[in-house]
Structure 1
Amino acid sequence: MLSARSLFQEILDDDESFRLFCSIAAGGESQGGWENGRIAALVPQSERALAPKIARHGDDEDKHGRIFNALMKKRGLEPVPVPPETDYTMLLERRGIGLAHDRLRRSEPLTVQDIVVYLSHSRVTEQRAADQMTMLRARFADHPEVGRAVRMISHDEDNHLAYTHEELLRLAAAGHGRLIQHTLRVCALAEIRVHRDVSLAVLARMGRILGWPRTKSVLLVAGIHAVYGYERLGGWRRMVTLRMPERRNALGGPATPAPEFA
């Protein structure tokens, strides 16, 4: 029977597939940490109050990267290079989504419009991350090896999503609503394509490692395309709606430490 739980359990049970999964996840989280750190340093003067929250976001992403590396280390595994076709962050940047890395490497302060782009990009990608972690938490929260990591990362992703809602609503009230809605739509439509492509690439890699029969691979590919079809027809709208979150000021304090993964 094909289910999210059985597939992820299969990946967990094999060292090579587990190493690839954790390497891809750690690479994306570490990249997110760098991006948020640079954005926090370049926030325009009018938005300086936002800088500590952006920095906290980056600290959380760095922490997640360390957690995935620690999970590998516990098994005596070393990270592997992230295959380019599975690099979600890089592929989004190539589509012009978010703030370009060459822009972030310069010392020139960002504009308020740049902050709108950053927060809109985060709103969309954090929705994906929160959804995925909610799924894993429902099935693996009590898993002896990864349960603690899943619970911690899921909590953080929910905070990140709440923060983007709150800050975008604040900026919309300040007169940036039209730009926010346009940027959210562009980001969401690009993200669902990148997510589909990355999912197919990861699936192909995992299938080779785990020796999946052709029938199983075909069914999984069909499932990925079905999800993309649903999202293309209207599922993407969940990524662009804004509502005031129950968790207010979700990134208003220091990052939660993860001493058990140090």
Structure 2
Amino acid sequence: MLSARSLFQEIVDNDDSFQLFCSIAASGEAQGGWENARIAALVPDAMRDLAPKIIRHGADEDKHGRIFHALLRKRGLEAVPVPPETDYTMLLERRGIGLAHDKLRRQEALSEEDIVVYLAHSRVTEQRAADQMDMLVKHFGDHPVVGKAIHMISNDEDNHLAYCHEELLRLARAGHGRTIHRVLRESALAEIAVYRDVSLAVMDHMGRLLHWPAPKAALLAAGIRAMYAYERFSGWHRMVDLRMPERRDALGGAPATTPEFA
């Protein structure tokens, strides 16, 4: 029977598909680490209190990248180039979602609205990340190879999501509510389309590596498109609501590390 658990098990068990999976994940985390580091360096003076949390966010993303590289090393594998059609972060940027990399490469301070855009965009993408990690913890949290890494990353993603909720609520009270609402909606609607396209591309690559029969590949593609239809109809709303999280000041401390993933 085709299930999330059986599908991921198949990917993990094969060196080629596992190599591609970890390479895509590591690349995305590295991009996130770079973006957060640049944003922290360019935070406007009026919002410098956010810089340590943004730095912590970036440090977590860098750590996740190291974790995926460590998983590759344990299998005697190296990272492979990421197919551009599977590059989630790049495709979001091309749609104008988040802060453009050109802006982040400059040595000019960001505006307060830029920081609001960053946090709203992050609230959407961190929801996706948290949902994915929840699914992996459910099905693979006890896996002897990837289980520990999954739990660590999942905890970090929950912290990132809590941080976005808390800071956006604070900024809404400070008068940025209209901008937050607009950017959340734009980001969510763009993200669900990019996630659909990336998911289809990743499954296409996995299918070729794992020699999936055409009916299996078609069934998976249909499932991805059905999920997009649901998200476009109503599911995207979960990405734009704001509520005070149970985890307060989730990024207020130093990032957790483990020697094996250093």
Under TM normalisation by the shorter chain, which class is it?
Answer: over 0.9
Aligned residues: 262
Partner of 1:187 in structure 2? 187
Distance 2:258 2:228 in 1: 35
> Equivalent residues in 2 for 1:91-240 (5 A)?
91-240=91-240
Q: Is the 8 A contact 1:63 1:258 kept in 2?
A: no
Measure the CA separation in 2 of the matches of 1:159 and 1:259: 21
Letter in 1 for 2:229: G
Partner in structure 2 of residue 254 of structure 1 = 254
What percent identity do the matched residue pairs reach? 74
Amino acid at match of 2:182: H
Q: How far did residue 142 of structure 1 move? A: 1.0
1-structure distance, mates of 2:145, 2:86: 24
Separation in 2 of the partners of 1:42 and 1:177?
22
AA matched with 2:98: G
Matched residue SS, 1:256: coil
One-letter amino acid of the structure 1 residue matched with residue 7 of structure 2: L
Give, in whole Å, the separation in 1 of the partners of 2:141 and 2:228. 27
Question: Following TM superposition, by how much is the alpha carbon of 1:181 offset from its aligned partner in structure 2, in angstroms?
Answer: 0.3
The one-letter amino acid paired with 1:146 is V
The answer for the alignment partner of 1:51 in structure 2 is: 51
Unmatched tracts of structure 2, length 5 or more: none
TM-score, normalised via structure 1 length: 1.00
AA of the residue aligned to 2:220: L
What letter is aligned with 2:141? A
The question of whether the paired residues in 2 share the 8 Å contact of 1:92 and 1:190 is answered with: yes
Q: CA deviation digits over 1:147-197, x for unaligned, max 9?
A: 000000000000000000000000000000011000000000000000000
Distance 1:78 1:219 in 2: 31
Superposition pairs of residues 41-80 of structure 1, within 5 angstroms: 41-80=41-80
What CA distance in whole angstroms lies between the structure 1 residues aligned with 2:59 and 2:258?
11
Measure the CA separation in 1 of the matches of 2:214 and 2:132: 26
How far the C-alpha of 1:258 sits from its partner, in A, is: 2.3
| Residue 261 of structure 1, CA deviation | 1.4
Find the aligned partners of 1:220 and 1:260 in 2 and give their Cα distance.
Answer: 35
The structure 1 segments of at least 4 consecutive aligned residues displaced by more than 4 Å after TM superposition are none
- Cα root mean square deviation, aligned: 0.4
Does the residue aligned with 1:255 lie in a helix, a strand or coil?
Answer: coil
Normalization by structure 2: what TM-score?
1.00
Written as runs of structure 1 = structure 2, the 5 A alignment for 1:6-85 is: 6-85=6-85
